Structure 1
Amino acid sequence: MRQYPRLTVDMKKLRGNVRAVKKLCENAGIFPAFVIKGCNGIPEAIRAAAEEGAEMIGSSRLEQLRRAKEIAPDIERLMLRIPAPSEAADVVEVADISLVSSLEALEFLDTEAGKQHKKHQVILMADLGDLREGFWETDQLVQAAIYAEQKADNLILAGVGTNLGCYGAIDVTVEKMDELVQVAETVESAIGRRLKYISGGGTTSIPRVLAKDMHPRVNMLRIGEGWLSARDLEDIWHCTIPGVEKNAFILEAEISEIRDKASYPQGVIKCDAFGNVPTYEDRGIRKRAIASAGKVDYGYPEMLEPLEEGIEVLGASSDHTLLDIQEAKRELKIGDIVKFGMKYANTVFVTGREDIAKNIIE
């Protein structure tokens, strides 16, 4: 196993982030599901959540939920990706509760839960405009709710939820949360009881909680980036969860070349290895370094944040990261290690690579 590139996982920060998110949510009357898909459900994240008293872990991947079941069997497991028919048996086996967006899914989950002699909980998803999963017409969602409540022998209708920001980039506004609650209350009128959960999205809903204008009936959030990376929330939504620390996950890479080179490519610019046509700024001759990690390892070079002042990420190919080190505060040399903070998307890539070394800091 090679030493670098290397992922460093700070367990103290992860555990502290779980506590901070729990505190924020508890003070707002919200039940947090700790989502582990942003770090590919690595055991360290599952342990951190379990050690700090998480009551529910969520993922879109069955393999990650199965791992959570093995490591923390007493914590409820939430399946985030709407189930396909071929997944029904596994979903019922490893998940306690699922997000569902069709009557057909309710039917095959009910059948499978019966085969396994289980009661499976479901949250019906309403599409409020982000155009990913969810019922588009409220009356169709209500009919599905009636089916789950009155006709399905092995399902428990736990609530209504929505997803915002993952595909259509729709903001979580006060109006959108009001709309979700209206849908949920329509369902409650139809089934004659109060729902356990009204699930108002994920980390992108945290600004509403911090602003104290989240609808009081929204009582569940599915939070991943907010406790794992904690960078997107700050950089995009300009807010932070009190007590949550960045850099629980750090990428380390080894420098393999240092040279003074032109800052503008020489020749006819066509496209890069990924079919893109990049743009460059001519800054003259600059001291540049290559770090031995690339897009295959972390996805998006523009999202990396060098943790040393004066180092700038210029871009990357599949396996090399190009750095401007002209203004670096130390004299870098070949073999030195540079560290990068990562956003959510970077963390997804890095934690999914089996050939990246891992360093666990307790």
Structure 2
Amino acid sequence: MVAHLSPATCPLLVVKVGSSLLVESDGSVRREWLETLIADIAARHKAKQKIVVVSSGAIALGARRLGFEKGGRASLADAQASASVGQILLSGIWAELLAAQGLTAAQMLVTLDDLEDRRRYLNITATLDRLLGAGAVPVLNENDSVATEEIRFGDNDRLAARVAQAASANGVVLLSDVDGLYDRDPKDPEAQLVPEVSKVDGRIRIMVTGDSSSGMGSGGMASKLDAADIATRAGIGIAIASGLRDHPLAALDDGAPYTWFAPREGGSARKSWIGGRLSVKGSIIVDAGASKALRGGASLLPAGATHVQGEFRRGDVIDIVTAEGETLARGLSEYDATDAVQICGKRSSELETILGAVPRQVLVHRDQMVLL
């Protein structure tokens, strides 16, 4: 079954490498360690496992070359300039070391918008499929040189999860500076590693404390849990594992500890894309009757809606929220927000009179909705 997949048995695996693993505190590349990781990738490639890499490190590398303070993160302008310089260095290192193992590197730079826009998302999917079919190793990073705060992932953990969706991957490995998810602060001597998680819920999220210990990256355990939620909802297993040891992928095969988030079954590719979106334009609050109907697989009718929040247009992704504030579902709105406000709580027979046209009968169709 899908849930029994592991990083070693996934036919297509996404490997995310954080800045703290790839770049020393002085801004130099941890070249010897990277060579061991690429040797692992080459071994996996030889064993017919396809690999996609999501690599951080461009900002840290560029900041060192430019002499910027705070690792290039003192301002958005510094981060963009650092990324512009660092991305050339980063892609060159990956290309050189992969070539030494007889592998061809392919660079792809993406922004949040690229994976949130359906057409561009499908273009990325097609490119990844062609590259992998040709035997290349795609190396992706966020295009920090042009991304603004409004269109940034902000961390490569969530980017890795979305790339895994686009590539139709079976698993993701987030190489980190810890062995996985602990039931409390890992610095606590009583802390225990959680070996497997079936669902990312409030009980799991309460275990998270602090951010990346290196201060170099932009993620942390909270972003890794977000990534796990995105991936597992799409039927993709995800592992959080330590990259502090040499040959980190081989170490997993040899029994090194990690936390495995088991994939959830069901759902179409389109629904996975909707559920994994990070930019949501607004929300519709629903009553108890609508909540029950939605959980039973129904579409959202205007009669079950009580309030509309945000500015959105037809086709935008919105959240469907219960009266208690729980985000129940996510889907594509059939109406602009202005029209949705007018028909909230109204019966289907009243819609034409209110809007002056023969309208769509639902606010969000069940085929364009995913329960969260």
TM bracket, shorter-chain basis: under 0.3
TM-score, length-normalised on structure 1?
A: 0.27
Structure whose residues are more often helix by fraction: 2
Q: Which has the higher contact order (CA 8 A, sep 6+)?
A: 1
